[in-house]
Amino acid sequence: MKKIAILTSGHPPFDDRIYWKFGRSLSDAGYPVTIICSTQQLNFQNDNVSIIGFSDKNLDKRNKIYKFYDLLKTISPDIIICAEPLSVIPSARYKRNNRRHCKIILDITEWYPENVTQKLKGVKKFVNYILLFLLNIAAANLADHLIIGEISKRRRYDIIAPFKSKTIIGYFPVLRYFSYQPPKFDGKNLTLCYAGVLNFKRGIITLLEAAKHLADNHKELNVKLKLIGKFNEAEEEKIFLNVIQDMGQLEIKMVNWTGYDQISDNFSDVDICFDLRERDFIYNNSLPIKIFEYMAMGKPFIFSDIKPLRKEIDCSGFGLLVNPDNLREVILAIEFYLINPQLMIEHGRNGRKVVEEKLNWETESKKLLSLIESILTS
């Protein structure tokens, strides 16, 4: 079988899409797969998937590119899937110098360079944005094919790489890892949940305030807030831990993130799932992955009202969309479910059905395998 390498310069080696979706699907189809990442020192082998990881903390970009290039020469892949524009550079060099028939695929899942420059300010942000946008243009045109995670992100690449072939392969969950777990709300115990990266831009303070309001004003309820994930910013974590010191009647449980194949184990007691992300450019123009995982487990959701959810998915049968800046609106959405508890079950069941029928990785993986086969035989 032809060998496939997946390169990432910014994601962890067991990233959902890189390992559990692309890596496992390709290896299950018989392809030897090697994931090369620069975010963690690691040597791992499982079935037909290998991971070679190195730490780039003490490497500048030039030496990181050389490291990727040297590893590619060792592996000698026939197809390289790049998770970021930077990883296209060593891939293109490997193709030019070592294996001209090798094909390069750029997998586009984020707004680039917005994701990289969002924390910068002033002239530094402007200069870095321009440089990274030029890198993005170069990478898109050096690649032989573009995989794009959602339709809204395609428009940019139709402009900057108009002659490149493109395939939409979505973010949908691997269904076999998400068991159906309908809400167990009994009129007395209510568990609200957020899962993912813990930060203030994802609205966890608003969720905390809404949960506290319910606990304080609905004495008949035992309200629990479950947060599954971890903070990336130590300062935000410190502030949050200080804020939750005294929450009165509200019970707060924090759970560390687990492996992708064990995610649903944490949701058996959850009634309603949340994501109250800010509506900045990136969040307001990105289809969220978590919403499909909530649906796969049969959980109703209360989510920020963002454009992709309005345009690409009719959420009215699965959950409620709210203005994340309006605390009162969030509280009323929760209370709407409390008044209509059967709707929790109905929305969760509807969401699960849609994921079972079409919004799942088992369906999307067929597109990936078909693409790989067509590239290898072209």
pLDDT, one tens digit per residue, over 259-272 is: 899 989 999 999 99
Collect all residues with Cβ–Cβ distance below 8 Å to 191 and sequence separation of at least 6.
Answer: 224, 225, 226, 269, 270, 271, 272
Residue 235 in tokens: 């300062």
Q: Are 351 and 298 in contact (CB under 8 A)?
A: yes
Confidence of residue 311 (pLDDT cuts 50, 70, 90): confident
pLDDT at 194 over 90: yes
pLDDT recorded at residue 119: 87
How large is the average pLDDT for residues 363-368? 97
What are the residue ranges of CATH 3.40.50.2000 in the chain? 4-172+361-377, 176-357
Residue 44 in tokens: 């791992």
pLDDT at 362 over 90: yes
Query: Under DSSP, is residue 358 helix (H, G, I), strand (E, B) or coil?
Result: coil
pLDDT recorded at residue 66: 96
Q: Where does 4-172+361-377 sit in CATH, by number?
A: 3.40.50.2000
pLDDT at 46 over 90: no
Q: Are strands 49-55 and 79-82 parallel, antiparallel or unpaired?
A: unpaired
Q: Are 320 and 273 in contact (CB under 8 A)?
A: no
pLDDT tens, 108-166? Answer: 999 999 999 998 999 999 999 999 999 999 999 999 999 999 999 999 999 999 999 99
pLDDT recorded at residue 232: 86
Say whether domain 176-357 belongs to CATH 3.40.50.2000: yes
pLDDT at 95 over 90: yes
How far apart CA 212 and CA 251 sit, in angstroms, is 9
Residue 324's nearest CA partner among 206, 209, 198 is: 206
DSSP letters for 207-258: HHHHHHHHHHH-TT-EEEEEEEEEES-HHHHHHHHHHTT--TT-EEEEE---
Confidence of residue 245 (pLDDT cuts 50, 70, 90): confident
pLDDT at 2 over 90: yes
Confidence of residue 315 (pLDDT cuts 50, 70, 90): confident
DSSP letters for 75-114: H--SEEEESSGGGHHHHHHHHHHT-TT-EEEEEE-S-TTH
